[in-house]
Amino acid sequence: METFDNTIDTRAIGVMDSGVGGLTVLKQLLSVCPKENYIYFGDTKNLPYGEKSKEQLIEIVKEIFEFFEQKNVKAVVLACNTTSATAYEELKDKYPFKIYPLIQSVAKYMSADKGLLKLGVMATEATVKTKTYTKEFKKYNPDIEVIEQACPLWVPIVEKQLTNYDEKQAIYGYLKNVLEFNPQKIILGCTHYPYLMDKISKYAPRELFINPAQIFARYIIDDLKQNSLINETQTGSVHYYASSNPDNFRQNAKMFLEIDETPLLVEI
Ligand code: DGL
């Protein structure tokens, strides 16, 4: 007689971002749960998301979710603060898979620390406009004060590998405001920003900053386990897709993760 073990679900987990930034999250997922099957989608055609409107981002995410639906994934990870802030609420109940938004998950997890009362957030313009970080942290702790700072140059510096820019102006220019607020912690509220940590740490101590990727990955895996969606018995796999210039994606990916295949091109 055939037996069915409902703690094993071999369907893949979709992970998405505008480019290579979400690999900071995939890297943590692979370290917490290497036996899962992952499909990473880098939407390089529409990068940078931070300059787009909420309406544009909802349309873009819909297309990526349709791609994941065709792949029959069990969950999709928004490894992207900007789409968590703009598209998640609109789309969260419309697809046959679980959706994990970065900001909401991380705020829930971090709010267990009731001593956290002054928080800084560095993020994209589109994220800051929605004030999602402030709203989500205040949900759990109304006394918390949050300052959100947009850093429109930071994603282009990472994805275009820019070198010809005034570093003090581009890095400290955005940090100054936040440091003056004297926060206990500063969240790197865009998955591309950890790449800039060496530069950022010239102006403020490294320990002040939180890369939320690790917290987020733990949150996702714990939740998958609770929902009997985890797959810990198979040998894991990762497949990559990009919406333009896959060779460039593979090259840039090295900043965060060595990937052993060139992504397949998918038109969305
Ligand atoms: N890495 C994404 C985020 O976390 C998007 C960055 C962008 O394309 O502007 O917000």
Ligand 1 in reach of 85 Cβ (< 6 A): no
The class that CATH gives domain 13-101+215-265 is alpha beta
The strand ranges marked E within the chain are: 13-17, 37-42, 75-78, 98-101, 118-123, 145-150, 185-189, 209-210, 237-242, 264-265
The tokens for 32 are 């917490």
Predicted pLDDT of residue 2: 41
User: What is the per-residue pLDDT across 13-50, written as a single tens digit (0 to 9) for each?
Assistant: 999 999 999 999 999 999 999 999 999 999 999 999 99
Query: What distance in angstroms lies between residue 126's CA and the mean position of ligand 1's atoms?
Result: 9
The tokens for 66 are 């349709």
Q: Which of 13, 47, 80, 187 is catalytic?
A: 80
User: What is the per-residue pLDDT across 174-213, written as a single tens digit (0 to 9) for each?
Assistant: 999 999 999 999 999 999 999 999 999 999 999 999 999 9
3-state secondary structure of 170: helix
Report the atom number in ligand 1 closest to the C-alpha of 189: 4
Q: Which residues contact 81 (CB under 8 A, 6 or more apart)?
A: 102, 103, 123, 124, 127, 189, 190, 191
Query: What distance in angstroms lies between residue 63's CA and the mean position of ligand 1's atoms?
Result: 17
Q: Which of 190, 220, 224, 229 is catalytic?
A: 190
Query: What distance in angstroms lies between residue 189's CA and the mean position of ligand 1's atoms?
Result: 9
Which residue has better confidence, 258 or 84?
84
Predicted pLDDT of residue 4: 44
Predicted pLDDT of residue 111: 94
For tokens 């992504």, the residue is 263
Predicted pLDDT of residue 22: 98
Ligand 1 in reach of 230 Cβ (< 6 A): no
Domain at 105-212: CATH code: 3.40.50.1860
Mutating to test ligand 1, I would choose from 24, 155, 210 the residue with most ligand atoms within 8 A of its C-beta, which is 155
The tokens for 176 are 């100054």
User: What is the per-residue pLDDT across 157-168, written as a single tens digit (0 to 9) for each?
Assistant: 999 999 889 999
Mutating to test ligand 1, I would choose from 16, 61, 81, 210 the residue with most ligand atoms within 8 A of its C-beta, which is 81
pLDDT band at residue 3, thresholds of 50, 70 and 90? very low
Predicted pLDDT of residue 230: 87
pLDDT band at residue 7, thresholds of 50, 70 and 90? low
Span 243-261, average pLDDT: 94
Active site residue 151: no
User: What is the per-residue pLDDT across 44-55, written as a single tens digit (0 to 9) for each?
Assistant: 999 999 999 999
Report the atom number in ligand 1 closest to the C-alpha of 21: 1
Report the atom number in ligand 1 closest to the C-alpha of 127: 10
Where are the CATH 3.40.50.1860 domain residues in the chain? Answer: 13-101+215-265, 105-212
